[in-house]
Amino acid sequence: MKKLLLGLFLLKVVFLSAQSLEHPVIWTTPEEKPEVLSKIQNHSWASAIVSQVKGIVDSKVNSHVTNPEAFLNTIPALAADDNVSEADAGSAIAAHASILNHASYAAMIYYISGEEKYAQFSADVLWYYIEQIAPRRPDNTAMSGNYFADPRTGYLQFAIAYDFMVNYLKEPETRVYQKSSGNKIPFDNVKAQQAVHNIAANALGEFTGVDNRYGRTVSNHPILTAPGCLFSILCVEDDAERERMLNIFWETGTKRQNSFTKTILPIFGEQGIWPEPISYSFMPNVTMVLNIVDRLKPELNVMDNYTNILDGNFLFDNLRHPNRTFVRFGDSKRYSDQTRKVYRYTHNLASRKGLADYVQKAEIALRQGYDAVGGYTPNITIRTYENVDAFEQLFWAKDIPNTIDGEIDFEKPTVIIKHAGVALQRNYVEQNNEDYGLCGIIGGAHYVHSHVTGITMELYGANYIMAPGAGLPQTVAQRKLPEHTDYFWRHAGNNTMIVNGTTHGIQPGSWNSDSYLWMNTTVNVAAEPKHLEDPIASNFSFATQFLDDTVNNDQQKRTLSTIRTSETTGYYFDMFRSKSLGVNNFHDYIYHNIGDATNIMRMDGTILGVSPTNRYQNDIGDLRKSPGWRFFENTNVTQPTAEAIHVRFDLDETNTYMNMFAPSGVVREYTKALGPATREAKGGYINKKTQILAIRQQGEAWDKPYVHIFEPSKATNASVKSVSHIFNGDEIIGAKVVSEVNDSKITDYILSNSSSATIAHLDINFTGEFGIVRTELKDGKTKVSLYLGKGDSLEFLDETITGDAEGKAYREFTLDYEYFSEIPANNFTIEAIGETCTGKNNGNIVINALEKFNYEVSINGNAYSFTNQTAIEDLTPGTYDFCIGISGNDFEQCYQVVIEEAVSITGKISPNKNGKVAITVNKGEAPYKVIKNGRLVLETYSANFELDAAQGDEIEVKTNIECQGVMSSKIDFLSEFEVYPNPTTNSFTIKSYGTNWKNLNIYNTLGVKVYSNNTVQNSVIINAKEQKMTNGMYFIVVQDQKGNQFTQKLIVD
């Protein structure tokens, strides 16, 4: 007893002496009412809130005046206790939330207007619940029956309504409608307080035990239930009991409602955000609770230690794609946007506390946020969970001027979210940013509502989230489906790396039971600019994330860079290093892209053939079937290839594309597949299977990392023209990317070292981890950009930049000539086209170049200039020697070609054993036209082909060039009739393959007829002995219908 008394004494020390609260106290106070009424009078957005609320409740309030049971009869039965699952309680949750939300809205209108019909409506609804709940105990108090849902729904709205109504309810003349008797009875405040206390005590959950999670991670549940719990406590009239409960809520905590100060607030950390996915991380309830507690208990100096949470409220707007949807990692939703709410909360708290900097920052953020969505237009509805929109906006929001000095840049190139292991990279443009802006994230970690992903990636492009993170399904029930637990939760459902086919998470430490989601946290090891800092260059930035994966005994490092080449073009550089610390059997790079088709091509556009494979129909045998790729469908793989590859993902609904380029030099197999549809995808892609690319590489992928260039485009012709590896010995340390943009040739030498080693490549010397040398060729000059993202130095030609204390530097300069470092051996394609007709002298030499320069070539004393292609015409037949140079440089590459003299078409037209005509063209320029009996029947580029024909058909073969002549033949299948075996000892066969003969005769060498047959046929078997054909030579003569005769020799042995 002494310990208990001491404890109560200490509680009173913390919260000072108890004093009766004056209601309302939650959203507003009586002293603030004139300000609220003025707000409604003077600002359309405030009056709109009141109008919308009245529009929601008026019909029910007006009906209630004469028929109170009409609305009360819609209240469902209250559950017997709070042990009902959220799924089973679903309809009851929504029903009680709606009933009491109507009551809280009516109470608000009464408070503002004083119209008693609203008060009576709200009072009668409250009384129904009071009568039901007052006789219970805290541990069996319930509305829907789900302990997690009720504080967020029914309890919340009950407390708001009661707070506005308590003064009216306690007036002596107040009568409430008793549904059970059908009469109005005096309001019983004692019974009301019994009900209020039960609600508050159930939400607080003292009967569940004390909070044992101090200093440990908890889910967001106690934050979501906190307002309903706090608001209910504030409705308890007994000062001592209210103070006791408030102290438990704030300081001590329970297993159900963890301590705010010892469990919840310490979790926020240095970045001031709740460590979950974005849509869970907003947690406006925390700022709300801080504001209310600080207003009630200023002596606690609540904000002295938690201004970092106010800072965190401004972080979320930095996590938007160009189309203003949020990046997605873990169980997040793109369209859940609570930024303006947390700004309003921040503004109200900071205004009351005199925190001028936060007031100004919140006003600027609100103004920018309102402008981004077309203005401030509140939208008030009845909603099930945490619906406080009308109250927080009407009572806490201030009018924000249309014009405010200052601006917050929420589009900094780098954003780091530490708890999620995520780094964001972006590069935005002033005009048409939704189409041309770039934004991507890489990272992964374990946190509540995380997925097990390794270092996954999400990319935006051309007004789509092209390469999406997995996200969260629409319903709670869908979260339990294998598609979510065994695919989207897993590595294979994300854009990541799988090592040896076994990459997985583990259960110990996982935030959910039987989930196998625990993984190590990815950490940022380099970035330029750093988190929310300004960049040193407008076209370049990068971030590198590292994962020491102790679960799978491997290490991975991924670098993402956004690289701008013009206001309408740019690309992502993605280098992914990975190695097992044990055996490196193989690696699979997994990539998802929304779309209608996946085209795996060589750089010249030819499609690579694929064949079916079942290599991904396996798992490691754990409960969750890791790594999750059993969900891959229609898997088709290429043959192993070391060629440079261009993969194009087609989005047919808008003719939009994601182009993925892989350099040559590493043997890989490319598997294209389909997977489950992408959550929250734009347009029709929300219902279409997602395109998947799995790229397998044998062995390690650290010294031979995956290097990919991703370019979104609005046309099939991307600006990136070629991609090649940059090596340091046998190690891949970057890529050369050549783009053609607005008559300029832009070459980026991207250097991404695995360490800070010194490397030399052509005219580049680099010591560091990340740098870019750009050359931009135009009009005979070269603009050079040197970007040192992290390193000691970057040297190009005679220019050197040295890193500052953070290892960064940038410089631009111009060369008065067109720089080139190397020309690929296959840069030029030379085609010699011969003379078409004798004496025409119209030969051609066609030159195509892979890389764009100001080329020069001289032939026959004539100089020609070109950048990509040229055709030199009207050349006489003969041998030509010429060299191709680059203007202003000593580069020279020489060739010899022969312009052939004109030829006439020659070849052979002959019947074959298939009853067809075989045509072979030996000379002549394709295409070939085939004319049968005066009618064109075929045009082909093939020099060997067959044609259906009948006896006597006249066949002609020509080219498009009239002077090359014609091959012609009249088809006579009998001229090719066969005799076999020949020689023969006895029986032999005579056969014609295309037509019948009229008669057949056999003669010996003396001209004597030894056999005759006048049957019209095309095949006959003859026995030589029966025809008394002795050994010797014979002549077989067949005659066609027109009397033409054809002869073959036969030897009888």
Return all residues near 700 (Cβ < 8 A) that are at least 6 apart.
578, 579, 580, 584, 587
Q: Are 590 and 495 in contact (CB under 8 A)?
A: yes
The pLDDT of residue 2 is 36
Region of 4 (left: φ > 0; alpha: ψ -120 to 50; beta: rest) is alpha
Residue 408 domain-assigned (yes or no): no
Concatenated DSSP letters for 315-372? TGGGGB-TTSPBP--SS--TT---HHHHHHHHHHHHHHHT-HHHHHHHHHHHHHHHHH
The pLDDT of residue 5 is 35
Same domain, 370 and 423: no
Return all residues near 476 (Cβ < 8 A) that are at least 6 apart.
86, 87
Q: If the chain, 1053 residues long, is cut into consecutive pieces of 10 residues, what is the mean pLDDT of each piece?
A: 36 42 96 97 98 98 97 98 94 98 99 98 99 98 98 99 98 96 97 98 97 91 98 98 98 97 93 95 96 96 93 98 97 95 98 96 98 96 97 98 95 98 98 98 98 98 97 90 97 98 98 97 98 98 99 98 98 99 98 98 95 98 97 98 98 98 98 97 96 99 99 96 95 97 95 93 96 95 97 97 98 93 81 86 90 86 88 92 85 89 86 80 90 92 88 87 87 78 92 81 90 88 91 90 84 91
Same domain, 913 and 964: yes
Tell me if the bond preceding 468 is cis, omega within 30° of 0. Answer: no
Element (H, E) at 987: strand 987-991
Half-sphere exposure of 34 (CA within 13 A, CB side): 1
The helix/strand/coil state of 627 is coil
Average pLDDT in the chain? 94
The pLDDT of residue 960 is 87
Q: What is the DSSP letter of 805?
A: T
Task: State the residue for tokens 């307080």.
Answer: 193
Q: Are 603 and 646 in contact (CB under 8 A)?
A: yes
Residue 406 domain-assigned (yes or no): no
Terminal Cα distance for the chain, rounded: 132
Domains of the chain: total: 6
Whole-Å CA distances, 1046 to 485, 832, 973, 995, 1022:
80, 46, 10, 13, 18
φ, ψ for residue 996 (rounded to 5)?
A: -95, 155
CA gap 669, 1031 in Å, rounded: 66
Q: What is the DSSP letter of 639?
A: P
Same domain, 271 and 131: yes
Beta bridge partners, 1050, equal 1034
CA gap 213, 209 in Å, rounded: 12
Concatenated DSSP letters for 100-163? HHHHHHHHHHHHHH--HHHHHHHHHHHHHHHHHHTTS-GGG--SSSBTTTGGGTHHHHHHHHHH
Residue 403 domain-assigned (yes or no): no
The pLDDT of residue 441 is 99
CA angle 628, 633, 639 (to 5 degrees): 100
Tell me, what CATH number does 502's domain have? 2.70.98.70
The helix/strand/coil state of 261 is helix
Q: Are 637 and 613 in contact (CB under 8 A)?
A: yes
Q: What's the Rg (C-alpha) of the chain?
A: 41
Region of 699 (left: φ > 0; alpha: ψ -120 to 50; beta: rest) is left
Q: Which domain holds residue 775?
A: 726-822
Task: State the residue for tokens 């059993």.
Answer: 630
Question: Of 971, 992, 1024, which residue is a domain's last?
Answer: 971
Residue 1025 tokens, joined: 């002995």
Residue 361 domain-assigned (yes or no): yes
Question: Of 844, 864, 899, which residue is a domain's last?
Answer: 899
Same domain, 315 and 344: yes
Residue 979 domain-assigned (yes or no): yes
- What is the number of other CB atoms lying within 10 angstroms of the CB of residue 110? 23
Q: Are 861 and 880 in contact (CB under 8 A)?
A: no
Beta bridge partners, 773, equal 749, 786
Residue 81 tokens, joined: 């206790």
Same domain, 669 and 761: no
CA gap 454, 505 in Å, rounded: 9
CA gap 241, 258 in Å, rounded: 19
Residue 937 tokens, joined: 């029947």
Tell me, what CATH number does 275's domain have? 1.50.10.100
Tell me, what CATH number does 1018's domain have? 2.60.40.1930
Residue in 928, 876, 935 with CA at minimum distance from that of residue 900: 876
Residue in 19, 16, 8 with CA at minimum distance from that of residue 300: 16
CA gap 261, 214 in Å, rounded: 9
Same domain, 837 and 982: no
Dihedral (Cα; 477, 481, 483, 485), 10-degree rounding: 100
Same domain, 959 and 981: no
φ, ψ for residue 483 (rounded to 5)?
A: -60, -35
Q: Are 679 and 473 in contact (CB under 8 A)?
A: yes
Q: What is the DSSP letter of 392?
A: I
Same domain, 254 and 151: yes
Whole-Å CA distances, 31 to 23, 161, 162, 354, 601:
10, 19, 18, 18, 72
Q: Are 865 and 847 in contact (CB under 8 A)?
A: no
Same domain, 917 and 875: no
Residue 577 domain-assigned (yes or no): yes
Q: Are 503 and 586 in contact (CB under 8 A)?
A: no
Q: Are 644 and 723 in contact (CB under 8 A)?
A: yes
- What is the number of other CB atoms lying within 10 angstroms of the CB of residue 904? 15
CA gap 801, 779 in Å, rounded: 26
Same domain, 852 and 867: yes
- pLDDT (tens digit, 9 = 90+) per residue, 448-474? 999 999 999 999 999 999 999 999 998
Whole-Å CA distances, 58 to 64, 79, 103, 368:
10, 29, 11, 34
Residue 1027 domain-assigned (yes or no): yes
Same domain, 582 and 471: yes
Altogether, the residues listed in the chain come to a count of: 1053
Angle between helices 33-42 and 90-113 (to 10 degrees): 90
Dihedral (Cα; 764, 767, 771, 777), 10-degree rounding: -10
Residue 234 tokens, joined: 């504030």
Residue in 574, 489, 922 with CA at minimum distance from that of residue 752: 574
Residue 374 tokens, joined: 């077309």
Q: Are 625 and 484 in contact (CB under 8 A)?
A: no
Residue 318 domain-assigned (yes or no): yes
Residue in 616, 583, 619, 593 with CA at minimum distance from that of residue 503: 619
118 residue type, one letter? Y
- pLDDT (tens digit, 9 = 90+) per residue, 298-307? 999 999 999 9
Q: Are 958 and 966 in contact (CB under 8 A)?
A: yes
Question: Of 899, 928, 951, which residue is a domain's last?
Answer: 899
Residue 398 tokens, joined: 């201030």
Same domain, 185 and 253: yes
Tell me, what CATH number does 964's domain have? 2.60.40
